[in-house]
Amino acid sequence: MAGRIPQEFLDQLLARTDLVEIINARVPLRRAGRDWMACCPFHAEKTPSFSVSPQKQFYYCFGCGAHGTAIGFLMEYERLEFLDAIEELARLAGLDIPKTGGEPFPVTRLLLDIVAQADRFFRQQLREHLTRQRAVDYLRQRGLTGQIAATFGIGYAPPGWENLSQALLDAGVIAQTLLDAGLVHRDEQGRLRDRFRDRIIFPIRDRRGRAIAFGGRALTDDAAPKYLNSPETPLFHKGWELYGLYEARLHTRPLQKLVVVEGYLDVVALAQYGLSYAVATLGTATTTEQVERLFRSVNDLVFCFDGDRAGRAAAWRALTVALPFLCDGRQVRFLFLPDGDDPDSLVRRDGHAAFEHRLTHAMPLADYLFAELRAQMDDPDTLEGRVKLAEWAQPLLEKLPEGYFRDLLEQRLQQETQVVTSRLRQRPARAASSSDRNLRLARTPLRKVLALLLYQPELAQQAAAEDSMLRSSAEPGAKLLADLVGILSTHPGLTVAALLERYRNTREGVILEQLAQWQPEALDGDYRFEEEFADILDYLRRRDDSDERLLETLLQRGLPSALSSEEREVLRNLGKTKKT
């Protein structure tokens, strides 16, 4: 978050946040020694394996491996983005997020305010403009009520080149800001021109309900283009957003599945008929970012497309994009509509129950995958056809994450082709038991000292004098230890959670999060962390000195030919180590 939110604020926020309190408000916890336990909220289980450490301000599930700080928990449990999680914790802690001049954060705020003004303008035009009746008649002809229009904030851009731009310029908005927000463009003479004219306006909202862009539908079918979106802006990236996701999360509780359709009016029409869990892509093929966002909201997706060639091409694209995200517990299905129908027309003609029935019987991903591959072959049932099916299907199955779903699809491939390929793997090994959880990273002295430091950060004071030794050490990870000691020595009150957040989305952060899951072998009695910590540091110092002496001795022997093969191997290894 450098350049967005000051590090000092994140440290203060996490120091004032109690992870146990945050989680217990959402998942009931019970005491278990020094820690708290619950059934994991991220996977189904009957025996509690979800542990929360008040000392580390860190949670970890022994069953599925979910882990993190208060920020990570809110991101996963509440399906929040990083900034949204920060704002929620700041609200609970009674803190205001600082806005640093010259950084992206206030620029975003400014653009959000301008887009919000445009949103209010469009809605006002639908109520008051002299030509509003054309827009009202169009919405009624599509079967939409005033109530559903209000729910989705539908507005109207009247005919004319300067309606919105002039209104906002009169309100003190500068022209460049209007351009940055994607609300206007310049014509060949350099004049500002409204982007949306004589269109029904659909505000595109972020996960917090703030308007970030707009989609406009022409009032006549012969207008070109029929649909028009805002351009890419600092607020809006078309391949990341989904129309209607905010409304679906707001009006469907609990949100258990999402239906992905192609148009704004499909989403609105389905919501009017009680199917308020539809979202739409924004005129693009389904993207990785959209699928990732969908699966952060639900585990069940239904892609709803036309049954024509274009619809099936869009469905195949969605399938290939979704495969890497299909871990166990998630599912994707496909619903293809009759020729000439879209979700809007179908739900208006057949009603809620009939459309729900179609969704319930949508085609599972496995059935669609093999049916589509077979449809592309001239001879799927011949020996050559079965071989070709295996060749085409295997790369797709390799995109799937490890798990039972991948195993079952590979079994299905064997049944379809009667080919047992050498690339199919055995069932993944069982999950590690509670007795060997700490073995995910092999225990080395350096990792042990890092784990002790994460368990008891005040040990950093004990290692502060070893900075020079650690930074010159050949031991892998010694520099990371030196950096941690430096941070904790400079900020002695820093929590482990704040320390981990400094390394979010880094290779070092992944290692530290795994080490934070380790528990010391002894927590009671006369066990002294300080002594073990000091012993390991002494061992590292002596080992480094020993390596230096050995390297010097071998080099003094002269040419490599004067060394034995074993000595030459030692010299090569020491040389490599010193270079790292």
Question: What pLDDT score does 545 carry?
Answer: 55
CATH code at position 342: 3.40.1360.10
Is the pLDDT at 175 greater than 50? The verdict is yes
List the one residue out of 267, 400, 396 whose CA is nearest residue 342: 267
Residue at a domain's end among 73, 93, 113? 93
Which pLDDT does position 307 carry in this prediction? 84
- 410 with 480, same domain: the answer is no
Q: Is residue 59 part of a domain?
A: yes
Residue 457's pLDDT is 85
Backbone angles phi, psi at 470, to 5 degrees: -65, -40
Residue 574 has pLDDT above 70, yes or no: no
Residue (of 189, 289, 185) closest to 241 by Cα position: 289
Q: What is the CATH number of the domain that holds 502?
A: 1.10.860.10
Beta bridge partner(s), residue 192 = 186
Looking at residue 284, its pLDDT comes to: 81
pTM (2 d.p.): 0.65
Residue 210 and residue 252 in one domain: no
Quick one: pLDDT at residue 520? 64
What are the Cα distances from residue 127, in Å, to 144, 148, 256, 404?
A: 15, 15, 35, 54
Residue type, 138: Y
* Domain encompassing residue 335: 245-370
Domain end: 204, 229, 254, which one?
Answer: 229
Domain co-membership, 86 together with 141: no
**Is 202 within the bounds of a domain?**
yes
Whether 118 is in a domain gets the answer yes
d(CA 245, CA 276): 10
Tens digits of residue pLDDT in 54-107 = 989 999 998 888 899 999 999 888 777 788 889 889 988 888 888 654 444 566
**pLDDT (0 to 100) of residue 379:** 83
Task: Give the separation between CA 426 and CA 394, rounded to whole angstroms.
Answer: 15
Half-sphere exposure of 490 (CA within 13 A, CB side): 10
Residue 351 and residue 409 in one domain: no
- Cβ burial, residue 335 (10 Å; 0-12/13-18/19+): buried
Q: Please give the pLDDT value at position 147.
A: 94
> Do 116 and 177 lie in a common domain?
yes
Question: What is the per-residue pLDDT for 1?
Answer: 40
| Pairwise pLDDT comparison (268 vs 511), residue with the higher score | 268
pLDDT of residue 570: 47
Give a yes or no: residue 449 inside a domain.
Answer: yes
**Domain co-membership, 566 together with 448:** yes
Q: What is the mean pLDDT of residues 26-40?
A: 90
Q: Is the domain of 404 the same as that of 457?
A: no
Q: Which residues pair with 67 in a beta bridge?
A: 60
Which residues share a beta bridge with 155? Answer: 201
Whether the per-residue pLDDT at 146 is higher than 60: the answer is yes
| 96 in Cβ contact with 90 (< 8 Å) | yes
- Residue at token pair 């950060």: 457
Domain's final residue, options 93, 124, 139: 93
Number of domains in the chain: 5
- For residues 456 and 568, membership in a common domain is answered with yes
**Alpha-carbon distance 248 to 257, whole Å?**
10
